[in-house]
Chain A
């Protein structure tokens, strides 16, 4: 380590030796940085999981363009859209197809008394082109009334507690007073507002939600013909449909939804704030440690000044310390966070996963925070006056 740093800085690694000399201080700082790292990692993990559940909630459908009411910030909220508009959109040249999407929420009380909140997606079985990866295989099976595809990863339903079921051996169950048979399955899992999902035909959906009407789906799905300019067609469709609607490419709608969950909804804001707090905690701890360390070595620093060391030497010593603390805190912090991710994922059913770029980002953030703390701590250096040594 000493050699590595010596090669890196081209001098004796004073900062490292100095930190290593005071084990208690070093340990306190490393624990502090690791703690801040874990804090930030957990917050980011949860924010990422929120984003992940958003992505999952779009898995049953696909389309080039999603048309929603202007007050709909996610698939399952907002006002419905008039189906009549769909026919107007279909008349626009360059529109290859369109279909309604119905979304509702239902409580599934199971025979054992447990309840799961399900997002129910109503799709046209014949419009297979608008079935997303989760629904593509099973959608054609839904032409028979009261058949559905059931989520295999519903939170609060223990994996394995559902018997195997498929088209030949459907799973019969009751939802909102209607007997349904699950003839196929897919995997979406729980999110912030639901524990799982259910895919049905538009007809079955309307039987499940008698108060919803066929003429007012939740969203419209639109496909654009290949070879035409999608932006131009979208603009034309928008003009035809009139005001009060959002018309977005699917990816854009998903991004806006993620952004909405993280910045507008309380859960997202709380955890976003947590990231900030984690950074602040790390910053304060490192500043505290580095500035006491500078204060404790003022005579030595003054001696080095008398020997002709320039100001940048002292900066580099403090940055060396900051770097050592960043690395030493990051490694255990990262290990602990990875472990906590697994525990949290198992406990919450949310997709809390370590993305490959997150450790890199957090490490860079740690180095940056440590460097800022170091820069603040260098203000104490001015007190090292070599004239006071005699």
Chain B
């Protein structure tokens, strides 16, 4: 099986007419299976844009993105929806549903897969919440969790269905140092054990130490690509 993410000649524009502005310029990139890649760069350099294109959250305008063997350029909306089920997203905000308990929020990621009966889904959700140190909080509503706990629920939700690719945009912003490192170590473990491929936008230097590879974007261009210390571990 080839690399899960293969990008070539990818460009992207926002707006139309006078206001049309290019956000990405001719990106070429391959990401290896099971690796943890960190994406950094100044604000407005196009990190989020690149992540949303890889994650089927935006239509590819020019160039090619092959995700898990499927070309995303011109992919029909229903196929996009199916493709998203193979991914795990961790957003800056936790975006938990206020009316659902931690366990129910995590279960939503299993429900969309249509796998397992509700009880098995509950067990899987509880297991994943336990890995993130939330075993005691499974029945809590988001309103009764701290900011860091909510973010960890969101991480559990992103990981519970065994996604093949995890895309995270500054996921550690709301976490204390320990939880942040703990989460990245979990992603690394999943990478080694299940071949989960992770791409993460972050500026946190301690996390850079755990990455296999560090990419730098500037003004929509890929200007740096070096191995991280994690590759040596």
A1-26: CB near B (< 8 Å → 1, else 0) gives 00000100001101001101110000
Asked whether, in the complex, the Cβ of B118 is within 8 Å of the Cβ of A307, the reply is no
CB-based contact A390/B169 at 8 Å:
yes
- B81-94 CB mask vs A (1 if < 8 Å, else 0) is 11111010101110
Residues in chain A near residue B91, CB distance under 8 A: 303, 306, 389-390
**Residue A309 at the B interface, CB < 8 A?**
yes
Residue in chain A with minimal CB distance to B168: A390
Docked CA distance A11–B112 (Å): 9
Inter-chain contacts of A12 with B (CB < 8 A): 100, 104, 107-108, 111
A310 within 8 A of B: yes
Q: Please report the C-alpha to C-alpha distance between residue A271 and residue B104 in the assembled complex, in whole angstroms.
A: 48
Docked complex Cα distance between A11 and B57 (Å): 24
Classify chain A's interface size.
Answer: 20 to 34
Docked complex Cα distance between A309 and B113 (Å): 9
Q: Does A174 make an interface contact (CB < 8 A)?
A: no
Among B48-56, B64-72, B190-198, B219-227, the stretch that binds chain A is: B48-56
> Contacts of B17 on A, CB cut-off 8 Å?
none
Any chain A CB within 8 A of the CB of B1? Answer: no
Contact between B92 and A303 (Cβ–Cβ < 8 Å)?
no
Q: Are A306 and B55 in contact (CB under 8 A)?
A: yes
Chain B 102-115, CB within 8 Å of chain A: the 1/0 string? 00100111011000
Q: Give the distance to chain B from A39, nearest Cβ to Cβ, in Å.
A: 30
Pair A389/B93 contact, Cβ less than 8 Å:
yes
A207 within 8 A of B: no
A-B contact count (CB 8 A): 75
Instruction: Kindly list chain A residues whose C-beta atoms are within 8 Å of the C-beta of B89.
Output: 303, 306-307, 389
Q: Tell me if B85 and A307 are in contact (CB < 8 A).
A: yes
Which of A11, A21, A299, A313 lies in contact with B95, CB distance below 8 A?
A299
Residues of B within 8 A of A159 (CB): none
Question: Complex Cα distance A308/B169, Å?
Answer: 18
Residues of B within 8 A of A386 (CB): 57
Question: Contacts A387-B57, A390-B169; is A304 near B108 (CB within 8 Å)?
Answer: yes
Task: Select from chain A the residue with minimum beta-carbon distance to B80.
Answer: A308
Neighbouring A residues of B19 by C-beta, 8 Å: none
The chain B residue sitting closest to A15, CB to CB, is B99
Interface centre among A18, A302, A387 (most CB of B within 10 A): A387
- Nearest opposing residue in chain B for A2, CB measure: B104
Nearest residue (CB) in B for A300 is: B97
A358 at the interface (CB under 8 A from B): no
B123 at the interface (CB under 8 A from A): no
Q: Is the CB of A144 closer than 8 A to any CB of chain B? A: no
A307 lies within 8 A of B108 (CB): yes
Q: Which residue of A lies closest to B118 (CB)?
A: A6
Q: Does A346 contact B (CB under 8 A)?
A: no
Find out whether the CB atom of A387 lies under 8 angstroms from the CB atom of B58.
yes
* Residue of B57, B78, B82, B83 with highest tally of chain A CB at under 10 A: B57
Determine if B98 is an interface residue (Cβ-Cβ < 8 Å).
yes
Contact status B51-A20, CB under 8 Å: no
Asked if A307 contacts B95 (CB within 8 A), the reply is no
State A308–B83 Cα separation when bound (angstroms): 7
Which A368-390 residues sit within 8 Å CB-CB of chain B? 386-387, 389-390
- Assess the B93–A14 pair: CB atoms within 8 A: no
Contacts of A303 in B (CB 8 A): 89, 91, 95, 97
* Docked complex Cα distance between A352 and B98 (Å): 46
Question: Measured between alpha carbons, how far is A302 from B57 in the docked complex, in Å?
Answer: 10
User: Is B93 within 8 A of A306, CB to CB?
Assistant: no
For chain A, residues 239 to 276, give those with C-beta under 8 angstroms from any C-beta of chain B: none
Q: Report how far A14 CA is from B96 CA in the complex, Å.
A: 13
A297 sits at the interface (CB 8 A): yes
Residue among A21, A305, A313, A389 with the most chain B CB within 10 A? A389
Q: Knowing A12-B111, A299-B95 are in contact, say whether A306-B84 is a contact too (CB < 8 A).
A: yes
Could you say which residues of chain B place their CB within 8 Å of the CB of A14? Answer: 97, 99-100
Chain A, Cβ-Cβ closest to B100: A17
Per the bound structure, the CA–CA distance linking A6 and B89 in Å amounts to: 26
Closest to B77 in A: A311
CA–CA, A11 and B108, complex, Å: 9
B94 to chain A: closest residue by CB? A303
From known contacts A17-B99, A299-B93, infer whether A308 and B84 are also in contact, taking CB-CB under 8 Å. Answer: yes
Which interface residue of A17, A18, A303, A313 has the most chain B CB atoms within 10 A? A303
A306 surroundings in chain B (CB, below 8 A)? 55, 57, 84, 89, 91
Task: List chain B residues, Cβ under 8 A from A307.
Answer: 84-85, 89, 108-109, 112, 157
Which residues from 305 to 347 on chain A have a C-beta closer than 8 Å to any C-beta of chain B?
A: 305-310, 313
Residues of A that sit less than 8 Å from B by CB: 6, 11-12, 14, 17-18, 20-22, 297, 299-300, 302-310, 313, 386-387, 389-390
Could you list which residues of chain B lie within 8 angstroms of chain A, going by C-beta atoms?
A: 48, 51-52, 55, 57-58, 78, 81-85, 87, 89, 91-93, 95-100, 104, 107-109, 111-112, 118, 157, 169
- Sample of 5 A–B contacts (CB below 8 Å): A11-B111, A12-B100, A14-B99, A308-B85, A390-B57
| Closest A-B pairs by Cβ, 5 of them | A308-B85, A21-B99, A308-B84, A303-B95, A387-B57
Known contacts A303-B95, A306-B91, A313-B112, then 6 further A-B pairs from the complex at CB < 8 Å, ordered by chain A residue:
A12-B104, A12-B111, A18-B99, A21-B98, A306-B57, A310-B78
